[in-house]
A = this chain, B = another copy of it.
C-alpha cells in the first residue's frame, strides 16, 4: 500500500502542513512509527513526542503549535486526530479474509434457507432450514447458522461461531470467532442431587450495529428473548444469561458475567470481570468498575465498585481506612495505656477507687504480632 500524504489528507478531511507528496506505506504509534509511516497525537500532553518521532507525517489537532513542526515531518491538521487516524488506518489495513464469492462449494446450505444478494458464505459453513441471510452479509468458515435463524444485512460472522435455532441478528452486526448465541439458559428445578431441566424455548435478539467479541456466550431466554440492543459492544469471553436485556450503546468489557433476567440500561459501562446477580436493574449511564460484584440494582448514572459493590467514592474511602487499620489499633493501644495511668493516678489521689473496675474488660489485642 503506497499513497501520498495529500491523498490521505483528502480521505480523512484534513489540511497538510509540509510536503504533501510524501509517500506513506503504513500507520503506527508515535513511538514505534518508522520513516514513511503516519502517526498521530490526540492529547496535547503528548505533543512533545512529535519532535522525536521517526514517522514521516503526524495527524494533529487544530490546537497543535504548527510552528514547532520538526524538519522532515509533515502534519495533517484535523478536528479530532484520534477519529481521523482511525479512518486513515482503514486505508492501510491488510486485506482480510475474502470469504467467498457467493457460497463456497464446501458449505452446507439447506434448500429452504433464503440467501440475500451479495452474500459470502465460507468453506464448511452450515446454514440450516429456513434460515435467512440478508444482503451483503459475510459468514466465515466453519460457522453454524441454525434453523430459522434470521441474519440481517452487511453483518459479519467470523469462523466457528454457533448461532442456534430461532435467533435473530440485525444489520451491520459483527460476531467474532468462537462465540455462541442461543445456547440453552441455565435453568433447572433443583431437588437434592437430581435436577430437572427447565426447557429454554425463547431466543436471542441482537439488534443493529452490535459487536460481540470472541468466545462470548449469550444464552437464549427461557421464554421470550434475551436481547442486546442497538449499538452495544461486548468484549471477549463475556457471559450473558437467559432473559438478560442490555440497552442501547452499552459497553461490556471482557469476562463480565450477567446473571439471568437482569436488565442493563442504555449507555452503561461494565468493567472487565465484573459480575452482576440476576433479576436486578443497572440504570442508564451507570458505570460498574472492573471485578465489581453487583448484588443489588444500581441507580442511573451511579458508579459502583468492589464486592459487594457500593458507590465508588465510598469504596475508595473504605480502602484507605482499611490501610490505616494498623495505625488505628496503635492509637487505641496508646489510649489504653494513658487511661491506665490516669486510673492509677486517680486511685493514688484517692479520687475514686471504683474507676479501676472498668479495666477488667480491657486489653487491646496486638494482632500484628500474630500475623
Contact = CB atoms under 8 A, between A and B. Distances in A.
**Copies, count:** 3
A317 interface: yes
A223 B160 CA distance: 25
Interface residues of A: mostly helix, strand, loop or mixed?
Answer: loop
A12 to B, nearest CB: 12
A339 B348 contact: no
Contacts of A71: none
Interface stretch (A43-51, A61-69, A91-99): A91-99
Interface in A88-125: 89-90, 92-98, 104, 106, 108, 122-124
Interface stretch (A2-10, A14-22, A187-195): A187-195
A160 B166 CA distance: 18
Given A183-B176, A233-B195, A334 B362 contact: yes
Contacts of A141: 108, 126, 144
A176 B178 CA distance: 12
A81 B110 CA distance: 39
A281 interface: no
Given A96-B165, A178-B215, A211-B197, A316 B126 contact: no
A359 B342 CA distance: 11
Contacts of A97: 128, 146-147, 164-165
Contacts of A339: 335, 338-339, 342
A328 B326 contact: no
A301 interface: no
A367 B192 contact: no
A318 B328 contact: no
Given A180-B236, A320-B368, 19 more contacts: A28-B224, A29-B224, A82-B189, A94-B166, A97-B146, A141-B144, A174-B184, A186-B253, A235-B239, A237-B237, A273-B273, A321-B367, A321-B368, A330-B361, A337-B361, A338-B358, A341-B354, A342-B355, A349-B352
19 contacts: A28-B224, A97-B146, A123-B126, A144-B159, A144-B160, A186-B254, A194-B249, A215-B237, A219-B236, A253-B259, A320-B368, A321-B322, A321-B326, A322-B325, A332-B335, A334-B363, A341-B358, A345-B355, A346-B349
